[in-house]
Amino acid sequence: VMVGGSFYWLLYGYGNSQQILEFDLDKRSLAFIPMPVSDIGDMRDGNIWVMPAEGGGLGLLFLRGICAQLWKRKTDCKGVASWVLGKTVELDKLLSLNSEKQRERPRILGFAEDNNVVLLWTSVGVFTVQFESLQIKKVFESSTWYLYFPFEGVYTADGCIGGGPSGAKLLYNT
């Protein structure tokens, strides 16, 4: 994810070596950022995602069971950066899940940066969640979580229907 003038990636390691890699475009430097929690499990299991924080800056979405924790990286007056827990959301209540009947915990499938929306898999379906407004939308039902690769696309106005001589034609009643 790009936040400010830096790119951030999750580094998947073993044991306690899981951290975030920062590449600062202005300084052309690399830095390692520790995780805010130590017992994150395997990050490849869909439980953590680097994203912009609410109000700007680096953020982290961490799923702990059926709770979503939104962390934010803050810098104090002395220039020391640390993680602060911003918001905790109980996904079973937000998504109307019956936590007693859930076979598996929710997993993060992806993140749409332009819309600040997270794509979450649950055992009852795939949802989009906008954590700032807590708006949700069920995208479709699914019982498997590992078969999806979410993506976000854009197009220019002149490439759409009626956008000039090379635009697509709108066919009615066909």
- 120-164: per-residue pLDDT in tens? 988 888 899 998 898 999 988 877 766 666 777 776 666 555 555
**pTM (whole model) above 0.85:** no
143 sits in the region (left: phi over 0; alpha: psi -120 to 50; else beta) called alpha
